[in-house]
Amino acid sequence: MAKTMISDNFTLILRISMASIWLYAGILGKLLNSGFLNPSSEQYVGFTIQYLAQGSIIRQFLYIVAMPHPVLVGTLVMIGEICFGFLTLIGLMTRLSSVIAFYTNLIYFLSASWTGAEEYGLNLLMMTINAYMIAYGSGNFSIDSLILRKFNIIDNKILWIVVGSVIYIAVIVYLTLV
């Protein structure tokens, strides 16, 4: 009993920490940043993509997928970060959200890790926490745990990994074809 309570408290702390990072990045860093989607601003997402591509090991991927439509990619990133934050905070669809967030952090890690230790460390840490959430779920202090009492499908890790992977690949394919 005590071990479960410690685990649930730890998971809740991880969820709140992750949610605060995602919400800060999505709301303050993008949604409320008037320059983020504005091509005439120094804070324009297109300049960020261009800068990151310079030293990235996934340079070609960024040029093919992100550079042709930076406003669309920026909008998807902003919506994704806000959704990851909100869903993680309340513990709803945590495994699915964590799979998609893991891939998002992987792209950030591969594109920005060359810029310094803070990008390298933050994205690596977030991928590790995403992997924890995928493996162990959102704990008892979550909406997922309430739903789990009625439906067992939400606890199927493999299902959520497959669904999240398909969603992420579909978005990349869409961006490649647009």
Share of the chain above pLDDT 70, in %: 96
* pLDDT for residue 154 is more than 70: no
| DSSP-based three-state secondary structure for 45 | helix
**pLDDT score, position 118:** 83
**pLDDT score, position 114:** 86
* pLDDT for residue 3 is more than 80: no
Instruction: Calculate mean pLDDT across residues 19-32.
Output: 97
Provide the whole-model pTM.
Answer: 0.92
Tokens of 71: 């406003």
Between 153 and 142, name the one with better pLDDT: 142
Q: What is the DSSP string of the chain?
A: -HHHHHHHHHHHHHHHHHHHHHHIIIIIIIIT-TTTT-TTSTT-HHHHHHHHHHH-TTHHHIIIIITT-HHHHHHHHHHHHHHHHHHHHHTSSHHHHHHHHHHHHHHHHHHHGGG-HHHHHHHHHHHHHHHHHHHH-S-SSSHHHHHHTT-GGGG-HHHHHHHHHHHHHHHHHHHHH-
